Structure 1
Amino acid sequence: MGHNHAHGHQHNHPDLKGRNLLISILLNIIITVAQVIGGLVSGSLSLLSDALHNFSDVLSLIVSYIAAIYAKKEASTNKTFGYKRAEIIAAFVNSASLIVVAIILIKEAVERFFDTHPIQSNIVIWLSLLGIVANGLSVLLLKKDANTNMNMKSAYLHLLTDMLASVAVLIGGLVMKFYELYWVDALLTLCIAFYLIYVGYDLLKTSTRVLMLFTPNTIEINKIVEALHKIDTIKNVHHVHIWQLNEDEVHLEAHIDFDTDIRLSEFDAILEKIEEEVFHKFGINHVNIQPEYDKIDNKQIIVQD
């Protein structure tokens, strides 16, 4: 017998979140166009790399915006979970794109080390300042939602790293202007690329764990089983599955053997205890239990279906 028990969640304001994403998209389109033109005119690889990163920001923000819209859609008979995982998929795509962009930048930077040439540093300085201001504004717009939503965190990280990249490009522009050390342009590009890999990998790993239905890192299954065994009449807990649907929902599915042939009303009372126990101690807010009595099956905690 299954039971679904959901406690109250903290909800973001989707309309405000969507508006902030749209503003960030427009700002990044402006930055990208300006930096591409400026990079071609000035001959700066770091400025072009920043533009490429900004372009990836535009794509990632669009993906995040579409995912945020889909996540609000209602469930249906052929989509019983609705689109609750849309934002997790967006986070995975965005974090993977950060790493891909980084690899492209590393290749270009290595080639530039062996082919340095003068760069119009004034263009680099002014356009990097534009990037700092525009991305800084976008970061402030998304910061609040990034704390509670993996999709928004992926978009926030894209913008934060791009703002930091623009700071690095500004420093490089000043060095090239006053000291004519043009190899700094390639060095900065490498630094930007390695930082992209650093911030992208953690989010890629987290979103992959959710998509693969892995048990959240904060939950130990053996401790849950031990806690449930302390409830009267429960003889055995086995065939346990725990997975995270999205940021708000963690699901527990298990078979429970009872030491007596209890009535359905008694099971409902015990189920209420189980729900309260796993919610308050482990943060699990959706429970599905299959009750059993003297059933012959595999009694191991984890059973491969």
Structure 2
Amino acid sequence: MGHTHHNHSHSHPDVKGRNLIISILLNILITVSQVIGGLVSGSLALLSDALHNFSDVMSLVISYIANVLSKKEASTNKTFGYKRAEIIAAFVNSATLIVVAIILIKEAVERFLTPQEIESDLVIWLSLLGIAANGFSVFLLKGTTSNNMNMKSAYLHLLTDMMASIAVLVGGLLMKFYQVYWVDTALTLAIALYLIYMGYDLLKNSTRVLMLFTPHTIQVQKIVEAIKRIRHIRNVHHVHIWQLNDSEVHLEAHIDFKEDIKLSEFDIILEQIEEEMYHEYGINHVNIQPEFGKCDSKNVIVQD
């Protein structure tokens, strides 16, 4: 059996952890301020923004814990370590985006049926606080989102909240100068729909990873054909391709050889497969079971 992997990770966990802590503290400040301001002013948009900020605090805490766990080493009873911790965090965070959005829609409908006058000055000043704090947090996390679903989920929470604060600011100005109070409800609905839009794609991608689905950028049949073109190989079957986390894609397969080759010859072929899989398909962890004349299923996909 052959087994190898390429590891080309260039993450900076200490920077990520520090930036997450700063963002958590800023969002706690925003949440407390907006809850008080929303209750005093009567602004549903401000309260909805506070609710979203509270979900930000929770998501950032989850992201921070996942970031810490992902650095823990593997052991005999955790042979993959905690490499999936950040994927689970991305799934939870994207799901909470959608749950918060549904709650906001419900609150907006109720407020539309029973409109209230709103203290716009407080709404304006607190929305400016939200824009400043979330904007700074977005700036801190932006550089850590590349190829990391966990950090991307935290970043999306903060980005959507910054945009929500901008929407609340616009609404506050319209209410102050034109007394258009229904805009508060309209903005709440707009924020909620945007949360669903942003959360769905990340929820779908993290679910694919957790379910061990083949990455959508990889076509199994093309990989089978590429391996079969190598000399001495008769058949490729029992194929599994899955994504462990943001940086690892695994290939597992059985390979039938036309001849009873030496182990040293298999090592040369295995290295050829590894290089092609990594450079052509981004697969950095290859596990091959060599076979000669073995009587088993030769189907490409076999249900274990």
Which TM-score band (shorter chain)?
A: over 0.9
Q: Partners in 2 of 1:110 and 1:184 — Cα distance?
A: 13
In structure 1, the residue matched to 2:59 is 60
Q: Partners in 2 of 1:148 and 1:206 — Cα distance?
A: 12
In structure 2, the residue matched to 1:124 is 123
In structure 2, the residue matched to 1:13 is 12
Q: Partners in 2 of 1:216 and 1:119 — Cα distance?
A: 49
**Could you tell me how far 1:4 is from its partner in structure 2?**
2.0
**Could you tell me how far 1:2 is from its partner in structure 2?**
3.3
| Partner AA of 1:3 in structure 2 | H
SS of aligned partner of 2:236: strand
**Could you tell me how far 1:151 is from its partner in structure 2?**
0.2
Q: Partners in 1 of 2:81 and 2:18 — Cα distance?
A: 23
Q: Partners in 2 of 1:147 and 1:115 — Cα distance?
A: 44
In structure 1, the residue matched to 2:22 is 23
**Could you tell me how far 1:232 is from its partner in structure 2?**
0.4
Q: Partners in 1 of 2:177 and 2:188 — Cα distance?
A: 19
Counterpart check, 1:50 vs 2:49: yes
| Partner AA of 2:144 in structure 1 | D
| Partner AA of 2:41 in structure 1 | S
Q: Partners in 1 of 2:177 and 2:146 — Cα distance?
A: 41
| Deviation string, structure 1 residues 91-125 (Cα, Å, up to 9, x no partner) | 00000000000000000000100111110000000
In structure 2, the residue matched to 1:243 is 242
Q: Partners in 2 of 1:104 and 1:136 — Cα distance?
A: 24
Counterpart check, 1:114 vs 2:131: no
Q: Partners in 1 of 2:8 and 2:270 — Cα distance?
A: 21
| Deviation string, structure 1 residues 45-68 (Cα, Å, up to 9, x no partner) | 000000000000000000000000
Q: What residue ranges of structure 1 are gaps of 5+ in the alignment?
A: none
Q: Partners in 1 of 2:71 and 2:239 — Cα distance?
A: 30
**Could you tell me how far 1:132 is from its partner in structure 2?**
0.2
**Could you tell me how far 1:186 is from its partner in structure 2?**
0.6
Q: Partners in 2 of 1:175 and 1:192 — Cα distance?
A: 17
Q: Partners in 1 of 2:56 and 2:231 — Cα distance?
A: 54
In structure 2, the residue matched to 1:3 is 3
**Could you tell me how far 1:148 is from its partner in structure 2?**
2.4
Structure 1 residues 1-305: aligned runs within 5 Å: 1-5=1-5, 7-305=6-304
Q: Partners in 2 of 1:159 and 1:230 — Cα distance?
A: 48
Q: Partners in 2 of 1:281 and 1:144 — Cα distance?
A: 27
TM-score between the two structures when normalised by the length of structure 2:
0.99
Bigger shift: residues 250-259 or 146-155: 146-155
**Could you tell me how far 1:42 is from its partner in structure 2?**
0.1
| Deviation string, structure 1 residues 27-84 (Cα, Å, up to 9, x no partner) | 0000000000000000000000000000000000000000000000000000000000
Q: Is the 2:2–2:270 Cα contact (8 Å) retained in structure 1?
A: no
| Partner AA of 1:56 in structure 2 | S
Q: Is the 2:37–2:122 Cα contact (8 Å) retained in structure 1?
A: yes
| Deviation string, structure 1 residues 142-188 (Cα, Å, up to 9, x no partner) | 00111221100000000000000000000000000011111111110
TM-score between the two structures when normalised by the length of structure 1:
0.99
| Partner AA of 2:39 in structure 1 | L
Moved over 3 A (4+): none
| Partner AA of 2:293 in structure 1 | D
Bigger shift: residues 66-75 or 145-154: 145-154
**Could you tell me how far 1:26 is from its partner in structure 2?**
0.2
**Could you tell me how far 1:11 is from its partner in structure 2?**
1.5
Bigger shift: residues 290-299 or 28-37: 290-299
Q: CA RMSD in A?
A: 0.6
Q: Partners in 2 of 1:100 and 1:128 — Cα distance?
A: 22
SS of aligned partner of 2:143: helix
